[in-house]
Structure 1
C-alpha cells in the first residue's frame, strides 16, 4: 500500500467525519474495544497513543480510554521493533571505603581539573601559561582539597601531593585513574619504599607506617571515578563563573582559600 493510498484511507475513514455529541460508550475490557483501537491505530499509520485516542473519541468514548489505548498499543510489534528500549546496565556495588566511616581524607580520590591560564606578572605583554588544579576528595565526608600544579608531569603532581599531605596527613588509600602522572607517582613512592627497606630498618618502619595504598580504576572507565569527577565539575563550575576569562597570577590562583566541603 502506497503512502498516498494510506492518507486517502485515513481521510475518508467513517470515523474521521462522523463527530457525535453523544459518542458510543464502550467498556474498557472488551474485545470490540480492542478491535476499534487496532483499526484506528492502523488507519493512522501506527500513530502514538494520544493521536489514536483522539481519533477514536470522534465516535466512541472508552472508559478510562487514555490508559486503555496506551496499554494496548504497547503490544504492537511494529511499534516496539521500531523503537526498542535500550538495556540499562545495573549499578554495581560501591566499594567498602564509600560506606564505612573514617577520618577525613583517610580514603582519598584524586584527579586533575583544567587547564586554567595564569600570567607571570601584572604587566602588559606578560606571558600566559597553563596551570591545573589537583582535586583531592574525601570518600567519607566529600570534603574537597585543591592544589595547584604547573603541568601534568609526575614531579609537579608529587609536589602538590606533598603539600596536601602536609596539611591533611597521609591517606591510607588513594583512588585515581591511570594517568601517567599518577602511575609515575605510584612507581616513585614504591621505589622509594624499596630503597628505604634496603637502607635501614628504622627508615623502613617509618615509611611503612605512613605508607599509602594506591589503587587504580580500570582503564577507559571514568564512571568508576564518579566521586572525583563530580568534584572536578563543581570546581570548574564555580571558578569559571567567578574568574571568567580573567587571567590570574600564580600567587592569586593558589587555592589556599578554595577548600570546599
Structure 2
C-alpha cells in the first residue's frame, strides 16, 4: 500500500513509521542525516542546530539523499547561515528565498513549529493575528487557545487569560452568554495587552555569540504557587573555560489553581512535581545525560516534606513526595527566600526590637522596682473567720459581677471529717444542679451564700458516692460478639458447609447482541475456599443448573446458607417438592 487516506486515524502513524524506518535502515550509510530524522522531526517538519556551517551542510546533504532512497523529497530548507543556503539547490529552499540574492536584509521570517523565527536576528518571536471574537465563553476560549506557546515563554501572561476563562466556567456561564460586568474589565485589559508578546525577542541559541567552549552545564528549576495558579520555569546555566556564566530560559509551565479549594502548600507541592516531570524531557532534548540539576522553592513546608522520611503523610502528599523521591535526591532541593519573605522577616525583627526597647524597658523601670515594696503580694494565708468579706465565684458571670458575702458561720473539723451539715448542703445543691458535675454544684453552693473550706475535695467525694452520677457517667457498654457457629470452627471437608450468593451483571457479546451474565459464588465455611459458576440469568432454573454443576465438581454438600433472594427461595421450594416426590 503506497497511499494512505488523508484524514484517517492510521495515516499519520503509518507515515511517521515509514520515515523512522527509512532512517533506521540507512543509519550506517548516512549517520548524521539518520540522527536528524530520528530525533529532530515532528510529523513532517524538522528543526535542529549545529556547531558550524560545515556540519550543517553535511546534515542537509545526507538528509536529502537518505529521503531520496525511499522516494521522498525533502525540501523547503531555510537557515540563518548564508553558506548553508548556498549549498542547497534553489528548488529545495523555501519558496520566499528562491528568487532572493541571499542578503540577510531581504531574508524574511519563517514559522518554526508555530513560533515566528526571525532569520536575520536569529530570534524567536510571536506573531499574533486574532480574529474579532465576541466576549463570550466560546470566544474567550478561542482567543486564549490561539496563542501558541509550547515552551512557555509567555506563560505568566497566558495564565491571566486562563484565569478569566476559569472564572467564567465557575459561574456556570453558557457558551454564548455575554461576559459578566465583573469579568469584562479584566478580559478587556488582557486582550489589549495581546500586542505586547509580539515585542518579545527570544534568542534561539542558549549561548551568546563568542561565549566560547562550554565546560559545565547546570539546570535550575524554580517552582512557585499562589491561590490563583502555580507553575515552574527551567533555566540552563552555562559556564565557559574562562569562568564566565550565562543563563537562558529553557521552558516554563503555568496552570490555574483547581476550582476546588486547595491549600497553598499542596499547590506548591504540585508545582514541584511539575518541575520534576520536566527532567527527562529536558535531558532527552538537550542530549546531556550527566547535566547537574538543582530545584528551588520558596516553601519551607515542601522542603520539610521532602526531607522527612519517617512521618506518614496524607495520600495526596505521599503520592507527590514519592514522585519527587524517585527522580531527585534531597541534596538537589534548595530554598530561595522571596522578597515578601524578606519583608516579613524585617517587620518581625522591627516588632521584636520595639518590644525590647519600649515595652520591656518601661516594665523594668516602673514595675519591677516597686514589686518588692508591695507587702500585699506577700500576705500569708489564714483560715476564714466570722465577719470576713469573701467574693462568691460564679463561672457564669464575669469577674466584675461576682457578689460579695460576709462569713456568718464557720465550722471547724478537728477530726479531719466533714460535718453532717456540710454533706447535707452539698447534697441539696447537687440535686438543684441536676447532677451536672462538680463545677455546677460548687456554683450553686456559692450562689446560696455558703463558704465551705476544701469545697472542691468535698464535692468530688460526694459525686463519687452519688448513685445517679455514677449511672450517668459509667462507661458505655460494648457489643459482645456471639460465638461462631460450629461449622466455622470445626474442621470439615471442603464445601461441606458453604454460603452462596449471586453477583453481577457482566456484559458479553453474542453475535451482535449484548447479553447479561451473572456469577454464582460459593464459599466454604471451614477453609474459606471459593467456587464460581456462571448463570445465564437470575431465574430459579439457572440457579439450579449452577448448583448442579457445583455439586458435580465439589461433591455433596451438607448445608448451604444464603439470603432471601427470590431465586434462592424458588430453588429451595423446588428441591423440597423433588424430595417429597422421592419419598
TM-score, normalised to structure 2's length?
Answer: 0.22
The one of the two structures with greater contact order (alpha-carbon pairs below 8 A, sep at least 6) is 1
TM-score, normalised to structure 1's length?
Answer: 0.42
